[in-house]
Structure 1
Amino acid sequence: MSRGRLPGLGNINKTDYYELLDPQPELTLTYLGTAGFILHDESRCVVLDPFLTRTPLMTTLFRRLIPHADLLRQHIPHADEVLVGHAHYDHVLDAPLLCQQTGARLVGSPAVMQVGRAAGLPDHQLCCTEGLEDIACGTWTVRGLPSRHGKAILGKIPFPGDITEPPPWPPRVHELRHGQVLNWWVDTGSLRVVHIDSADFIPEHLQGMQADVVCLCAVGRQYRPGYVREVVELLQPRYILPCHWDTMMTPLHDEPQVLPGVDLPGMLDEIRALGVQPLLTPILGQQRLKRAATA
């Protein structure tokens, strides 16, 4: 396998791409690439960390970042809530425009709210949380779980710090500091999903938050010892969907590239060894899930 190519090519068996396509799903998850997901059932559509714009490297480093409106309309035509785990550009950039297009609420930390204000969202579309509180989303319940950002670049946290006033808009990449980091616990009434969008977490805030599905940042495995094992022990999931394994600078419809240092085959093997089913999902691929049958 050539270094950094699409998982599933070369010596990664195509069966590593595992789709659960129940004909009568109680929850459908769509992977958007990076840390992004759409969760929806018949009553609700919640989007997490959407980033379809995926600006090229030179644009990211040297220009102001403009969300790609057409891609958002094409792939996310409807949303009720948009949850953002932290305010780095590859998590928050597209969220305000998606809220403008769909009328969704933007849910996130005070830093995320400042980004929403910068982009022109009105107060009634802003839902600020510092975590540890239940937020009603129709019949669903969402809770932010305080977390921390991983030291993901040369042992350091990229663009650390907070956003305490609306940044310039459109922003430059360094103007979107991470602010408070939140994982998300989403209870649809049928299934529970935990979304971990960074390479670290705070164990005490995952303790007791059982999940059927964990959307888990693949980068964390190379920086935090016991990352996958501890998540499984704390959350007891049936399924883990690896995310944030792809470079966020490859255009959405091009062949994705794996981030340097991410060992997807090793991660999948470790998940299986822990008794959990990994669901490696292609970008824009879906998982259609039902709750576990009870005895």
Structure 2
Amino acid sequence: MLVKHIRDIIINVLVFVPLFISQIAFGQSQQLELKYLGAAGWIITQDSLVVLLDPYLTRLKLDSPASDSKDTRKSYERSDYFQSDSALIDKVIQKADYIFVHHSHFDHLSDVPYIAKKTRAKVIGTESTCNILRAYGIPDDQLYEVQGGEDYIFEEFSVKVIPSLHSALRFKHFFDSRVYKDPPGAPLKIADFIEGGSLMYLIRFDTHQVLTMGGMNFIEKEVVGLTPDVILTGVNFSRNEIFNYTGRLLTATNFPKIVIPTHWDNFRVPYEFSQQKAIEDKIVPFIEEVKAASPESRVIVPEHLKSFVIKSTK
């Protein structure tokens, strides 16, 4: 079990979810439930409201060094057409009211067309994100096209849309300024899911402010002064290309009480495969970084498809 592996490695550092909840829940409380979908994907539930972030569940066996020789599924190249694992999605996602997309790469957006059609959820994303969804037949009344700087109120929450930067992939050589000004031809090949600009979101629920990231980079001036109590922090290797990434991020956002790693797993293998190496190589060093930069913050390491609850008093 993943929890056992985590306990063996970082028992003196990690604050486990049940213990953490008992420490912060006092009196009458309202819960925020989170479930990690892998990559940068999440289900966040408050009462009857269901919000998805970058829901990517198909987890293609993409031909790369990150593939596992024990994975006997079909291998894909970036030149192949993408097809969602609809059976798996149907098992995990029955309802969604809103979907937030940080950028348009396949590991963030490619399952959204199927999910948006299935649930009729409203989707918030960049021009490129929305044009890709239009290509798949998602109607305009389901789409909110944003560029960063918007601050919108909805019935159950409000959201500040924050301009951001993509992770510094390929040792800082990644750069892609392409956007889709019009809907491309669908279906798309894996490589056709371009970045199309990057965003962060500050989602203000009734009892929590959650700052979300879809990668391992940020624009410091855009997050300075924010006061989230929960931050979903990108924790893949490319964070090491950014100067004092964890320290600057936590300082700029006023040392959030709850720090949750995201986009840290090997999302090219099925859910049942071990993530032990990712824990050792990414999570353990990150926890030490948090401990040094914000010792009062609590780190919660999520398991795939396992829900945990954060409670607080109104």
Asked if TM exceeds 0.5, the reply is: yes
Partner of 1:252: 271
Partner of 2:253: 235
- Name the CA distance, whole Å, in 2 between partners of 1:109 and 1:7: 39
> Does 2:161 align with 1:144?
yes
> Does 2:49 align with 1:44?
yes
Q: Secondary structure at the match of 1:232?
A: helix
- Name the CA distance, whole Å, in 2 between partners of 1:174 and 1:271: 34
> Does 2:222 align with 1:166?
no
Name the CA shift for 1:6/1:279 in 2 (closer, same or farther; >3 Å).
closer
Counterpart residue identity of residue 287, structure 1: F
Partner of 1:129: 146
Of 64, 71, 76, 1:59 maps to 76
- Kept after mapping to 1: 8 A contact 2:51/2:99: yes
- Name the CA distance, whole Å, in 2 between partners of 1:225 and 1:191: 29
> Does 2:32 align with 1:19?
no
Matches within 5 A, 1:192-203: 192-203=209-220
- Name the CA distance, whole Å, in 1 between partners of 2:166 and 2:146: 17
> Does 2:271 align with 1:264?
no
Counterpart residue identity of residue 211, structure 1: P
| Number of residue pairs aligned between Structure 1 and Structure 2 | 289
- Name the CA distance, whole Å, in 1 between partners of 2:219 and 2:312: 27
Name the CA shift for 1:291/1:156 in 2 (closer, same or farther; >3 Å).
farther
Of 5, 8, 13, 2:5 maps to 8
Deviations 1:119-150 (A, max 9, x none): 11011111111121122332201121000112
- Name the CA distance, whole Å, in 2 between partners of 1:161 and 1:184: 22
- Kept after mapping to 2: 8 A contact 1:6/1:256: no
> Does 2:103 align with 1:86?
yes
Matches within 5 A, 1:151-190: 151-157=168-174, 161-190=178-207
- Poorly superposed stretches of 4+, deviation over 3 Å: 13-17, 20-25, 256-262
Counterpart residue identity of residue 204, structure 1: K
Shift of 1:281: 0.8
RMSD of the alignment, in Å? 2.5
Counterpart residue identity of residue 263, structure 1: K
Q: Secondary structure at the match of 1:12?
A: helix
- Name the CA distance, whole Å, in 2 between partners of 1:210 and 1:9: 29
- Name the CA distance, whole Å, in 2 between partners of 1:153 and 1:261: 21
- Kept after mapping to 1: 8 A contact 2:168/2:239: no
> Does 2:306 align with 1:285?
yes
- Name the CA distance, whole Å, in 2 between partners of 1:148 and 1:261: 26
- Name the CA distance, whole Å, in 1 between partners of 2:215 and 2:37: 16
Name the CA shift for 1:6/1:277 in 2 (closer, same or farther; >3 Å).
closer
Name the CA shift for 1:181/1:254 in 2 (closer, same or farther; >3 Å).
same
Identity %: 24
Gaps of 5+ in 1: none
Shift of 1:27: 0.7
> Does 2:239 align with 1:221?
yes
Q: Secondary structure at the match of 1:98?
A: helix
Shift of 1:118: 1.3
Shift of 1:167: 2.5
Deviations 1:172-227 (A, max 9, x none): 12211101210011000210000111121101111122101110110243111211
Shift of 1:7: 9.2
Gaps of 5+ in 2: 63-74
Matches within 5 A, 1:102-121: 102-121=119-138
- Kept after mapping to 2: 8 A contact 1:163/1:176: no
Name the CA shift for 1:17/1:260 in 2 (closer, same or farther; >3 Å).
closer
Name the CA shift for 1:12/1:292 in 2 (closer, same or farther; >3 Å).
farther
Partner of 2:69: none
- Kept after mapping to 2: 8 A contact 1:8/1:14: no
